[in-house]
Structure 1
């Protein structure tokens, strides 16, 4: 199942119960996210959603991407959509 969110896009594999992240903002990437990893990212962002300076995430542990407060909230919304796809 394809997901095109405001900040991320990718494909959810129902058989493997995992999300393949393909794009963050306008950067192409390829990363598989398990449910627990997604929950940890989402929880962290929710705790820091009001940080005035935003947050910096990295792709491939080497390419920093700055997220503004607004982008953090959009990413949280995207992650919550993905979270609903995982089977319990």
Structure 2
């Protein structure tokens, strides 16, 4: 199932119970996230959702991406939607 969120896009595979992340903002990436990994990221985002300066994430441990507070909230909403798909 293709997922097009506000900040991310990818594909959820219900048979493997995993999410393949393809894009963050407008940057291509390739990561497979299990439920516990997605939950950890979601919890981190929720913990820092009130940070006025936003957050910096990295793609493939190499490319830093700045997320504004608004983008951070949208990313958390995208992850929440995906988390609801796990068994």
TM-score interval w.r.t. the shorter chain? over 0.9
Unaligned runs of 5+ in 2: none
2:19 maps to 19
Q: Normalising by structure 1, report the TM-score.
A: 0.97
The two structures have a TM-score, normalised by structure 2, of: 0.98
Supply the distance in 1 between the matched residues of 2:31 and 2:72 (Cα, whole angstroms): 19
Report 1:5-84 matches (<5 A). Answer: 5-84=5-84
Deviation of residue 56 (structure 1)?
0.4
Instruction: Note the C-alpha offset of 1:4.
Output: 0.1
> Can you list the C-alpha shifts for 1:7-42, whole angstroms capped at 9, x where unaligned?
000000111000000000000001000000000000
Number of aligned residues: 87
Q: Which runs of 5 or more residues in structure 1 are unaligned?
A: none
Q: Distance in 2 between matches of 1:57 and 1:5?
A: 17
Structure 1 residue ranges, 4+ long, deviating more than 4 angstroms after superposition: none
Q: Secondary structure at the match of 1:61?
A: coil
CA-atom RMSD, angstroms? 0.4
